[in-house]
Amino acid sequence: MADYESDKTGLATNETSGIWTKFSLVLGISTVGLLFFRRYFHGAKCRSLAQLTGKTVIVTGANTGIGKATALDLARRHARVILACRDVQKAKQAADDIQRSTHSQQLVVKHLDLASLKSINKFCDDILKTEPQLDILINNAGVSWLPKLTRTEEGLETQMGVNHFGHFLLTNRLLGLLKKSSPGARIAIVSSSLHKKGKIDFANLNAERGYNQFQAYYDSKLANVLFGQELHRRLESEKAGVSVYTLHPGVINTELNRHTMHPLLLKFFLRPLFWLFMKTPTQGAQTTIYCAVAGELEGLSGRYYGNCKEEPFPAVASRADESIAKKLWEVSERLTGLKED
């Protein structure tokens, strides 16, 4: 009887050991699979070793998210980085963080509220007065998914106003300085692959006839793409020596998500999914950095990038789109006061 009980105990132990071995094997394979899956979604890394000593860069929205990660990388490359932000206190904290990490003494914080044409013009007046050159302009700041219709200081729908009109005015006001700093000056416009869902309805450009928080974002990102294309065509015809790149940074876990989800849902249920499927700000900044510094992009102005490589322009492939881009430019000139009627 004792031997029988001993054999029974041994069998149970072996069976338990076998279960744990299988569980460990499945867990190990699942973990490796998740890590590879996560790595796939987190995209490519900018491999350029280019240094920016003696170069001046402006990054809008550099106090957080991919803007801050971009500013950090460019500071490591020894650029003079101007953090152009609406919240100056947060921008100063970001500059302190970047300074501690890079030991850069070339970080400058300036106030810029892209929801105010007055603020944009004041910022540009200051830059044109104090900066002898501007080598790279990164139009990064943005808002998304605003649940209620809000308007900028001048009455423009906020998502279109900040994402497109604000950067349109900023870029055009600084074009002379960029041209002066050429050849080799660059403009990087952060758009989104969601521009493919956008449409430019000139009768409802600023929610005159209705507002949908998602469509407004898509439309503003399409406006970014069309602006980049028209800007490229104009600069190319002038042989200005300024390159324009439009880009999709990827799906990123940043503060842009704060308007779309309940805080508790975001905190307890979606964080693990975000970790798996979304890029960190550093990962999301890689294509922006690539467009700003990669030597192989010289002479390739007017193209669209994602994951540090060129991607097709599905939304701007026809002459009809070119005419829309031209009309959007003309409307933007009027609405931003860049050109009077």
Catalytic residue among 4, 40, 211, 217: 217
Clarify whether 217 is annotated catalytic: yes
> CA-CA distance, 341 to 339, in Å (whole number)?
7
As a three-state string, the secondary structure of the chain is CHHHHHHHHHHHHHHHHHHHHHHHHHHHHHHHHHHHHHHHHCCCCCCCCCCCCCCEEEEECCCCHHHHHHHHHHHHCCCEEEEEECCHHHHHHHHHHHHHHHCCCCEEEEECCCCCHHHHHHHHHHHHHHCCCCCEEEECCCCCCCCCCCECCCCCEHHHHHHHHHHHHHHHHHHHHHHHCCCCEEEEEECCHHHHHCCCCCCCCCCCCCCCHHHHHHHHHHHHHHHHHHHHHHHHHHCCCEEEEEEECCCECCHHHHHCCCHHHHHHHHHHHHHHHCECHHHHCHHHHHHHHCHHHCCCCCEEEECCEEECCCCCCCHHHHHHHHHHHHHHHHHCCCCCC
Would you name the residues annotated as active-site residues?
217
